Structure 1
Amino acid sequence: MNKTSVIQEMDLKYNLHSWSAQAGLNPHVITKAEGIYFWNEEGERFYDMSSQLVNMNIGHGNKKVIQAIKDQADKLPFIGPAFALDVRAEAAKKVVEVAPANMKKVFFTNSGAEANENAIKMARMYTGRYKMFSAYRAYHGATYGAANLTGEPRRFASEPGIAGFVKFVGPYAYRGPIEFKNEEEASKYYLTLLREQIEYEGSETIAAIFQESVVGTNGILIPPKGWMQGVRDLCDEFGIMMVCDEVMAGWGRTGEWFAVNNWNVQPDMITFAKGSTCGYIPLGGVLVNGKIADHFNKNTLICGLTYSAHPMGCAAACATIDVYKEENLIQKSKEMGVVLGEILEEMKEKHASVGDVRYIGLFSAIELVKDRNSKEPLVPYGKDPDGIMKKILGMLREKGFWNYSHENIIIVAPPLIIKKDELRDAMKIMDNVLDFVDEMMDE
């Protein structure tokens, strides 16, 4: 038995892999990663075209972040969250400084799901209300509270759910019930639905409206013009907290430090994780505005985690934020996003299987359909009975292009360090595989 087989056998014997039936799994054994690439034991190289789980924004193997973690491990690897610490204070300051201007303090967690869990509690404590609104096509995490916020099928394992979690239909113009003339008309339609639901549920009972600033895994659904400001206005009118989940969309992914900056809107809270340390050490957090920060000066914050503001996570965050600035990655994301958008529009024009493409910065989706006129998705919602999407991903991976799909949608979100020639070369693989999808549709 070769080394790869031994490692894989041990992995499958002792590990439970997420979102999978364990029988039949065949995980690659990964040996190294650098920049936008990673390699398996057989020496096969893959373009990391989803930044792993849309978190490796600065790419693999960044020496500055690795050194910061090493230095902190030598200095003080852990001290409880009740203590003040140089790196803990510095990380909080750096996060707040790049956040929207109304954000004043941060509560550090270990992940995006934990960030959303604590934002739920903060919204309830601050408002004295209990209902949480969130969208159907949304993912906010798999822990119990975050799973109840989640609107797509991964929430089902956590149901029956917690009282007070209410789902609304967020904007998805491509699959809207009517043909909208423009983005503003789409926003008006969906905001009308949201207002009605707020009134039907009793506005005085609603603590917060949660939404992904840009819906991530569920299709890169970019808010139409007027939507974000419309939600802000509704929250202000009814005294509801506006909470933006930036776990995936934050940290330069959309060409801005935080995605809400694209619409000049200031939420009451922002949850984040992934790109804050780019996976080098787990870290997440909840940013709160001045009013909420002031509230918890006088009222007890009933939130606590053993590893909140972990020193090594904070060290990684400080270094990661420095890398974003020193390598100008926020602007690079915006510039390379233009290139990616041009490539995707060309693919949409060329391939009959591509119903729609959506992109903002280096955050994009290719929506596959059986028929462009009817917009019938390539696979039904929540199902892939014939393994079609799995087959498409398999073909991409055979050619060295690693990413993931959700429903009938292929996600493309490479590291922000990707160069133009690397992006074009990688997307040629996608182009070739879409030729196969077109042929499959004609059979």
Structure 2
Amino acid sequence: MSTQPVSTDAAAVKAADRAHVFHSWSAQGLIDPFVVAGAEGSYFWDHDGNRHLDFSSQLVNTNIGHQHPKVVAAIQEQAARLCTIAPGFAVDVRSEAARLIAGRTPGDLDRIFFTNGGAEAVENAVRMARLHTGRPKVLSAYRSYHGATAAAINLTGDPRRWPSDTASAGVVRFWGPFRYRSPFHAETEEQECERALRHLEDTIVFEGPGTIAAVILETVPGTAGIMVPPPGYLPGVRALCDRYGIVLILDEVMAGFGRTGRWFAADHFGVVPDLLTFAKGVNSGYVPLGGVAISAEIAATFEERPYPGGLTYSGHPLACASAVATINAMAEEGIVENAARVGEDVLGPGLRELAERHPSVGDVRGLGVFWAVELVRDRRTREPLVPYAATGEANAPMAAVTATIKAAGVWPFVNMNRVHVVPPCTITEAEAKAGLAALDEALTVADRYAA
């Protein structure tokens, strides 16, 4: 373990931040950013050495943990050899990253288009689908998040879309399955699956199959609530897409690279999409990287027809070097298997035990190191602890829960009425139990608001 820095520079860092940094998704005058001095493994700390257990993996992306020595060394070595080169050149580290990714994606997704992140991956996957089919529309779910760029934010289902929604982007939304808050009044997982598929097919038929280029789904929706689809749903969507000649895009930006205890969440369901988007865990965000894994059929569309898209930093050598090191380390160190084991042996049982003791817990769901705890005021009615998209005083109960977890030295991922338990895939059993203990304490605060 490296020595944590003890510095008096925190005030200067904070002052410069507040004077010059414009933060995303924030009212600039209402935020108070935590000043980070360093990080390692499952922890990060401030300039006074106060540590936080990172139960958020930052933005659910540091799958391999902070400062993994093999990844850091790979970036340093690549920087000494070749910092950058245009995407039109063939270079060893880019080729190797593509080979390693293609070797782990399901089916024949053997061609890799590199981007700088997940939103750009979604943008390009949608563009490929539209060009491949010659159709304009894309179907996406209400409970979803696909990124903040132009097409991606219009595809998104959550409230962050609202200020940027042009209502003219060729997007049609539908309801995906979510048994706990079923829009289909289902009483069983089987009913939820059957009715959700019928609803999707009705949407396709009434929109006109010949106008629909793609259906895009997060394999396991992340920010929207970690809603694991019921058995049979994703194979059913695959069958509908095949029936109507529609491209199936699976968004694995958050769920991919070990997060669910498999290399890709699609592996749990035996489904092969036509396009698969990735980012985040491919190199834990050490250098920005994302991409699209492309099927043989869609790749063939652009064999002699130029693909009208590209990025200056597509397949950046430093990013690709970090991806190669990340994937190799995950394989050599059994990190994907660790995520599965911690989820099955610690997080799943631990969260279910908390649910039994805390009346504020309405539902617990997840896979691997990808879990959500849904908080409610009333288990019978399932009224959320705070209203949908609550802000200000209406969000006070969740603000209190969040503050309690942080005070216990754990950094949570909180969205609406949920606490997401999404630590690094490298987390130890002891660290996972420490995080659950902090959540236990915070749930006593939530219980004060529950019936």
Matches within 5 A, 1:185-224: 185-224=191-230
> In structure 1, what is the equivalent of residue 291 of structure 2?
285
When the two structures are superposed, what TM-score results if normalisation uses the length of structure 2? 0.96
Q: CA offset at residue 159 of structure 1?
A: 1.9
Q: Distance in 1 between matches of 2:183 and 2:239?
A: 24
Structure 1 residues not aligned, in runs of 5+ = none
SS, match of residue 140 in structure 2: strand
Is residue 122 from structure 1 mapped to residue 128 from structure 2 by the alignment? yes
Q: CA offset at residue 42 of structure 1?
A: 2.6
Is residue 365 from structure 1 mapped to residue 375 from structure 2 by the alignment? no
Is residue 388 from structure 1 mapped to residue 397 from structure 2 by the alignment? yes
CA-to-aligned-CA distance 1:149-204 (integer Å, 9 cap, x gap): 10111111212243311111111110114653432221101111111010110010
Within the candidate set 72, 83, 98, 2:104 is matched to 98
Q: Distance in 1 between matches of 2:229 and 2:22?
A: 36
8 Å contact kept, 2:347–2:432: yes
Within the candidate set 268, 272, 281, 1:275 is matched to 281
Matches within 5 A, 1:132-281: 132-177=138-183, 180-281=186-287
8 Å contact kept, 2:179–2:188: no
Is residue 344 from structure 1 mapped to residue 351 from structure 2 by the alignment? yes
Structure 2 residues not aligned, in runs of 5+ = 1-7
> In structure 1, what is the equivalent of residue 5 of structure 2?
none
Within the candidate set 393, 416, 427, 1:418 is matched to 427
Of 431-440 and 46-55, more deviation after overlay is shown by 431-440
Percent identity over the alignment is 46
Q: Distance in 2 between matches of 1:95 and 1:345?
A: 34
Q: Distance in 1 between matches of 2:196 and 2:123?
A: 26
Q: Distance in 2 between matches of 1:131 and 1:380?
A: 32
Q: Distance in 1 between matches of 2:91 and 2:414?
A: 41
1:96 and 1:260, CA in 2 relative to 1: closer, same or farther beyond 3 A? same
SS, match of residue 271 in structure 1: strand
8 Å contact kept, 1:145–1:162: no
Count of aligned pairs between the two proteins: 442
Q: Distance in 2 between matches of 1:347 and 1:218?
A: 22
Instruction: Look up the equivalent residue of 1:72 and give its one-letter code.
Output: Q
Within the candidate set 358, 362, 371, 1:355 is matched to 362
When the two structures are superposed, what TM-score results if normalisation uses the length of structure 1? 0.98
8 Å contact kept, 2:117–2:290: yes
Q: Distance in 1 between matches of 2:142 and 2:169?
A: 17
Instruction: Look up the equivalent residue of 2:159 and give its one-letter code.
Output: P
Of 159-168 and 115-124, more deviation after overlay is shown by 159-168
Instruction: Look up the equivalent residue of 1:244 and give its one-letter code.
Output: L
Q: Distance in 2 between matches of 1:113 and 1:312?
A: 20
Aligned-pair Cα RMSD in Å: 1.3
Q: Distance in 2 between matches of 1:166 and 1:177?
A: 17
Within the candidate set 315, 324, 332, 1:326 is matched to 332
CA-to-aligned-CA distance 1:343-377 (integer Å, 9 cap, x gap): 01001111000000011111000000000000000
8 Å contact kept, 1:104–1:293: no
